[in-house]
Amino acid sequence: MNLDQIFSAGRTVFSLEIFPPKKTSSIDSVYTTIDELSQLKPDFISVTYGAGGTGAGSLTCKMASYIKEQGTESIAHLTCVNSTREEVLAALEDLKAHGVTNILALRGDKNPDIPPKEEFRYAYELIELIASQGGFHIAAACYPEGHPECGSLAQDVRHLKQKVDAGASHLISQLFFDNEDFYRFREMTAAAGIQVPIEAGIMPVTSRSQIERMVSMCGASIPKKLSRLLSRYGDDPLALTDVAIAYATDQIIDLIGAGVDGIHLYSMNNPAVARRIYENIKNALATGRS
């Protein structure tokens, strides 16, 4: 199913994100994760691009295809920073052959150990190529606090408009922890003429080291409230999990009340945490948007 149909239904979309296993892990464990997450009946599940190396994209395709076979729509991440045009076209053919027609088009993170290819410098160039092939729903990433490599949020919103003009028909935000940042961003995108649905990306903070790594990569800030909670409970995994679920629930309920187009929950391949959050928000989801 094209994701445009899901967003046109007039309700709050709920989606999840998972990632492929490490090279040393069995893919069977991820299939179990997919089966458990699918029981939450999300509108779709996104699959991140494999962590480099041969077969990274094919593993993403394999997982996205499996999700569809289990009855849930999927969207596959596709990056371009380390790809040639021919490699991207081959990946698109592979996705289409497996029935995967929804793509989250990303530049991808630069790896200091792998010199980037020169054919794609920005995500909008990848989006243009995908759009030229036809038959795909294209999503793009957005940053409520601005991309860490961009000079300002206003400049980043202008770059985001390029992605939409190139063919992106919905946006998924990077993680953020202060809803006011998202609301300010949403106002700026509207003023810039960006009218596609924007899903809010929410990540439950179940590990202090994990969130520190993610924040350093995406540039999200830690509000004082969350900082206090991390200081108090960061060394107690069970307590921190409870705190993470409560904090994410509070964010999501507020976002739904403000009419957000969708909630994209970064599950971190943890079905138990995702389920607890879903149980907390399912009734609010049912009444969101109109």
Please give the residue that has the higher pLDDT: either 41 or 27: 41
Please give the residue that has the higher pLDDT: either 243 or 109: 243
Element (H, E) at 14: strand 13-18
Of the chain, the percentage scoring pLDDT greater than 90 comes to 79
Banded model confidence at residue 288, pLDDT cuts 50, 70, 90:
confident
Average pLDDT across the chain, whole number: 92
* Contacts of 131 by beta carbon, 8 Å cutoff, 6+ apart: 138, 166, 167
Give the C-alpha separation, 169 to 128, whole Å.
12
| 102 DSSP β-pair partners | 137
Sign of the dihedral defined by the CA atoms of residues 136, 198, 30, 111, in that order: positive
**pLDDT tens-digit series, residues 195-228:** 999 999 999 999 988 888 888 778 899 999 999 9
Side chain identity at 37, as an amino acid letter? L
Banded model confidence at residue 53, pLDDT cuts 50, 70, 90:
very low
Banded model confidence at residue 282, pLDDT cuts 50, 70, 90:
very high
- CA gyration radius, the chain: 18
Query: What pLDDT score does 52 carry?
Result: 46
Banded model confidence at residue 69, pLDDT cuts 50, 70, 90:
very high
Active-site residue set = 17
Query: What pLDDT score does 193 carry?
Result: 98
Average of per-residue pLDDT across 63-85: 95
**pLDDT tens-digit series, residues 149-184:** 898 999 999 999 999 999 999 999 999 999 999 999
Residue 46 sits at φ, ψ, to 5 deg, of -95, 150
Which tokens in the block code for residue 42? Answer: 């999300």
Query: What pLDDT score does 246 carry?
Result: 98
Average of per-residue pLDDT across 70-75: 96
Q: How many helices (H) and strands (E) does the chain have?
A: 11, 8
Query: What pLDDT score does 8 carry?
Result: 92
Query: What pLDDT score does 56 carry?
Result: 54
209-213 contacts, C-beta under 8 A, 24 or more apart: 210/268
Side chain identity at 211, as an amino acid letter? I
**pLDDT tens-digit series, residues 139-148:** 999 999 999 8
In order, the DSSP letters of 209-265 are HHHHHHHHHH-----HHHHHHHHHHTT-HHHHHHHHHHHHHHHHHHHHHTT-SEEEE
Query: What pLDDT score does 178 carry?
Result: 97
Q: What angle do CA 36, 98, 25 make, to 5 degrees?
A: 45
Query: What pLDDT score does 57 carry?
Result: 73
* Contacts of 28 by beta carbon, 8 Å cutoff, 6+ apart: none
Of the chain, the percentage scoring pLDDT greater than 70 comes to 97
**pLDDT tens-digit series, residues 11-37:** 999 999 999 987 766 778 899 999 999
Please give the residue that has the higher pLDDT: either 27 or 94: 94
Judged against a pLDDT cut of 60, whether residue 247 lies above it is answered with: yes
